[in-house]
Structure 1
């Protein structure tokens, strides 16, 4: 599972006065896809926090908005792990129309860091979590035979 996808329907609450998806809601859609991506790997964030005392926090985002989504559109949001460190991961995320995946709405890079929940200080991710993430990392663009 290199690229994970998750479908999201646009509701009234997602749109602005102009009837298009409010720009900040794309970050919410991406958050949902990241959460479901972790869940698909067997990572339950609340259980992980309870057992390890750590949690993920967003440390950096970069989003490019390309086209608007509208009420009732069915969106496909992807999450793909691009880089791993000992205390953070960087994902590439994209939002497209589910009916036409070539119709890009937004795409970005999200970096999430692992912190101690009590102090919010960065710490190394647990070994089991690192192993799970490593198994789902996208091949490097430097590798000669990249899977798509």
Structure 2
């Protein structure tokens, strides 16, 4: 299942030419991931408060294909490519209509108390594989 999250490009997202600054695509996909997790019924604040668990980005492989511009309405898509006991691999993209502007393969890990890597608890894995 692919999750979709709308984004509008504002002045703060662009350079002087009205083109989205390259690092902001990472912010866009972060928002998309956060909304994907929430849509699956996981409350990241509760995970951290009750279990000391957080998700952390381990790796991002990004391709910038075409620029987004000021006032563009974009869609961030997020889909689980693979979920193992130790990591979550996601395929993400930023689209303007049907046109793909940016793609990324993102690897997340779970960190436990003391920010040490830990296996994903079964309860969380079940939410992520809905």
Q: TM-score, normalised by structure 1?
A: 0.85
More helix by proportion, 1 or 2?
2
**In structure 1, the residue corresponding to 2:94 is in which secondary structure?**
strand
> Residue 105 of structure 1: which of 97, 101, 108 is its match?
101
- The structural deviation recorded for 1:120 is 1.8
After the TM superposition, which parts of structure 1 deviate over 2 Å for at least 4 consecutive aligned residues? none
Map of 1:3 onto structure 2: 2
Map of 1:31 onto structure 2: 30
Instruction: Let me know the Cα RMSD of the aligned residues.
Output: 0.9
Alignment of 1:1-148 (within 5 A): 2-97=1-96, 100-101=97-98, 103-116=99-112, 118-135=113-130
- The structural deviation recorded for 1:18 is 2.1
Distance 1:32 1:11 in 2: 15
* Paired residue total: 130
Cα-to-partner distance string for 1:18-44 (whole Å, 9 max, x where unaligned): 210000000100000000001111111
**In structure 2, the residue corresponding to 1:95 is in which secondary structure?**
strand
Structure 2 unpaired stretches of 5+: none
Distance 1:11 1:35 in 2: 20
**In structure 2, the residue corresponding to 1:119 is in which secondary structure?**
helix
Q: TM-score, normalised by structure 2?
A: 0.96
